Every structure is written in structure tokens, then in C-alpha cells.
Amino acid sequence: MPSAAQDVRVGKYNGPGGCASSSCHGSIQPKQITRVSQNEYSIWVGQDKHARAFQVLSNPVSLRIAKILKLGRPDQEPKCLACHALSVPAAERAESFELNDGVSCESCHGPASGWLGPHTVKDWPHERSVAELGMIDLRDVAVRSHICLHCHLGTVEKFVDHQMIAAGHPDLTFELNLFSAVMPRHWKDSKEVGYSGTKEWAVGQSMQLRDSLARLARRARSSTWPEYAEYDCFACHHSLTKPEESWRLTSDSYYAGRKAGAPAWNASRYIAFRYAAKEADAATAAKLESEISALASLMGQLNGDKEQIAVTAERAEELSGTLAHELNSRSYDQVFTLRVMRGIAGDARAISEQGQRAAEQAAMTLDSLFVAYKQNGSVPNDTELRAAINQLFQQLDSPSAYSAPRFAAQMQKVSALLAQETAKP
């Protein structure tokens, strides 16, 4: 239980120590007697990379990033702490607060000082913690995605740009359902939501598209434009081959709508999502499709008009937000899950020619949706499908050598296996 000495004002951050006791969230084994398992702290501290996000800032890669960018010590640098720690203003820190706890409970759940006491009372409603005491409603999948994307995509205040990537920072890619499994999850999926994995994927994709379009608009209007991280990385970073062996030159569509040699926009956050958009709301999806293709063609000019790029991105952002709202309130089933998987695997060529990052989103999507699809037990060709999806990831291992025809051929195998499935509503 929280001690009286703890600050109980709404909006202050306590740090994870306040949640660690074995009678709170620090149990080693999951408990069955309470609604939550009470081992959340143990999972976070023992298995979750977020607990080590601060330590990462003193490893050799971080020190080199800081040296190249001419920054101070990365573990004292606000530019890095913004995402690698619970980096909040001094006035919002309670006494128990430690920066070196990394990305901790309150980075996602919100400042605890207000709800730390009340939320331990039996039958205390989660809704009141959210409405009155500063807790973030992570049960809402759209809110949850948006919180992850603060750090896994960036905001106005904190970002990873091409300069940081070129200095050694990993590029940020994300897919809510897969990343929640890798994290690993310290919560139970809601039983009321059927096919919650499909929902997580669909809402996560729409929010990711929405937030990335807002970022594009922001960057297009900034003085540092063009921002290379908004383009297809491997337009510039692929390995060169003889012209007759280049899949880019032998494809009919690779340079569609843009001049040879102009890098393409990185549309990967749209490529897999469009299949869910079509299923959910065909009219809005069609409007989005047309804004996205306008955006792709503006981005495909070497000197596309910055303001045009920004306003087109903002129109597409609004449509993605509408779709996010719809996807967050609809229900999901096995039929929806299979239809989206089939749609994606069936468009193997078109998707793979959108480049490595699009292929990566397609692979993460098929992986997530396959897990959701067979949640009620194994399916006829379970083993073959699992193996075929795993091989998609192998094709992404050396990104500069990515080959669209090879990836497409593997997707076609997945597609043929999916054709044998029958979904139950």
C-alpha cells in the first residue's frame, strides 16, 4: 500500500518503486484471486526492454551517436531521455522518482500520484481513475496505440530523424499487436472483445498512419525539409546490380508516377492498412486512397511543393482518424481476419514492389493476424502457414539486398495456403 508520505496530488510521477511490492504488482507468479495478475512489475523489470531503456544510453552505440551528433552524455541529454526514460519536468516529479528506471509504468499509464491510493481499494472503478485522477485509458486501443507511438514514431517534442539514423539510431518501425506480444504483455486480453488481436492490429495501423501523416505535415513545413526518413530508405540504400538484374528496373510499376531517380515516399504505413480500411468503410477508404496517391505523386517529385504536401497529408490524416474511430468501435471475427490476410497475400506483387518497409509491414501483419485467426484452436494447414510466414521475415534480414520478386513469390505461397482455409463467422 502507498505510504502516507507519498505525494497524492493528481499529476505527479512517483516512479515504479511504488508499484513493486509483492502485494501490489510485484508478485513473481501470476495470481488468480484478483482481476489483475499482480506480477506486472516482475514481468516489466525482468523481461521488458523498456526497463533497460535508460541503460541503453550508456552503451557504445549511444556514445557514438552522441559523438557524431556533437551532443553531451546521452544519459543526461534531453534529446535522448525524452524517449528512453520517464522524462517529465522537475515540478511533476515526486520524491521517489528516479530517471534511471527507464520507460516505466507511468510512461504508459500516466502520473500515479492521484490514483495510487484509490486504485487499490476493492471495486474502485478504472473509469474514475481515468476521468478524475490522471490515469491514461490504455484499455482503449486507439489511446494505447497513440501512447506507444509517442516514442515509437515521435511527436513535436521528441523525434528520430535521418540525421540520428545516419548516426546509428535504429529506424523506428512499429506494429501494435506484434510489439505488444514482444514487449511482453503483462495484461490479460479482454474476454469481451472477440478477435482482440485483429482489433489491435487494425486500430494500431490506423493510428500509426494518422500520426505518421501528422508528422509528415509537420516536417514538410519545417526548415529542415526534405527529411530523408520520410522516403523509402532503400530508394537510396539498396545495393547496385547490373541493370538487367535490377528488379527495380525490370518492374513495370516501380517508377509509376515519378521521375526515374527521384526517391519514393515511404508509404509502408498505408500499404497493409488499406485492406482493413476497405473492409470497414468503403467510402472513406476510397477518399483516403485518392489523397494517398496524390501525396505519393507530390512526394515523388524531386521538388514537390512543401505546402501542398503538408495539406494533402493533413487531409489524409483526418480520414485516417475517421477510420480509426470506426475500427475502434466495430466488432471482429474470423471472417474479417481471413479476408484481410487474403487481400494482402493476394496482392503479393503490388505490395512487394512498394519496397522493404512495406514488405515488413505486410509480414508483421500476416504474423499478427495469423495468431488471431487461429485463436480458437489449430487450423488445417497450421504448420505450413506458420513456416511460410516465418520465411517472409527471413527475406527481410538484409534490407539493402531486399528483392521484391523473391518476397512476392513467398507471399504467393502464403496466399495459396490461405486459399485452403474456411473461416467460421
Contacts of residue 398, Cβ cutoff 8 Å, sequence gap at least 6 = none
Cell of 63: 556514445
**Judged by CB, which is closer to ligand HEC: 155, or 251?**
155
CB of 339 to ligand HEC, least distance (A): 25
Contact of 207 with 242, CB cutoff 8 Å: no
Contact of 337 with 195, CB cutoff 8 Å: yes
**Judged by CB, which is closer to ligand HEC: 82, or 409?**
82
Q: Which of 156, 157, 149, 154 is nearest to 175 (CA)?
A: 149
Residue with cell 495469423: 370
Contact of 267 with 362, CB cutoff 8 Å: no
CB of 266 to ligand HEC, least distance (A): 7
**Judged by CB, which is closer to ligand HEC: 9, or 73?**
73
For the four alpha carbons of 333, 210, 177 and 328, in that order, the dihedral sign comes to: negative
List own/partner pairs for 274-282 with CB under 8 A and 24 or more apart: 275/339, 275/340, 275/343, 275/344, 276/201, 276/202, 276/205, 276/206, 276/327, 276/340, 277/206, 277/323, 278/343, 279/336, 279/339, 279/340, 280/202, 280/323, 280/326, 280/327, 280/330, 281/322, 281/323, 281/326
CB of 341 to ligand HEC, least distance (A): 22
Give dist(CA 169, CA 171) in Å, integer.
6
CB of 161 to ligand HEC, least distance (A): 9
**Judged by CB, which is closer to ligand HEC: 28, or 419?**
28
**Judged by CB, which is closer to ligand HEC: 120, or 383?**
120
**Judged by CB, which is closer to ligand HEC: 141, or 341?**
141
CB of 159 to ligand HEC, least distance (A): 5
Query: What would you report as the CA-atom Rg of the chain, rounded to the nearest whole angstrom?
Result: 23
Give dist(CA 182, CA 47) in Å, integer.
10
CB of 71 to ligand HEC, least distance (A): 6
CB of 416 to ligand HEC, least distance (A): 31
**Judged by CB, which is closer to ligand HEC: 9, or 64?**
64
Cell of 106: 507511468
Q: Which of 20, 183, 13, 151 is nearest to 83 (CA)?
A: 151
Largest Cα–Cα distance in the chain?
A: 74
**Judged by CB, which is closer to ligand HEC: 173, or 246?**
173
Contacts of residue 113, Cβ cutoff 8 Å, sequence gap at least 6 = 6, 7, 8, 9, 10, 11, 12, 13, 14, 94, 134
Q: Which of 209, 128, 143 is nearest to 175 (CA)?
A: 209
Contacts of residue 275, Cβ cutoff 8 Å, sequence gap at least 6 = 339, 340, 343, 344
Cell of 263: 526517391
CB of 140 to ligand HEC, least distance (A): 9
CB of 378 to ligand HEC, least distance (A): 26
Give dist(CA 365, CA 390) in Å, integer.
12
CB of 86 to ligand HEC, least distance (A): 7
Q: Which residues of this protein are in contact with ligand HEC, per CB under 6 A?
A: 16, 19, 25, 36, 40-41, 44, 49-50, 52-53, 56-57, 59, 61-62, 65-66, 71, 74, 77, 79-80, 82-84, 103-105, 107-109, 126, 138-139, 144, 147-148, 150-152, 154, 158-160, 162, 164-166, 169-172, 179-180, 182-183, 186-187, 228-229, 231, 233, 235-237, 263
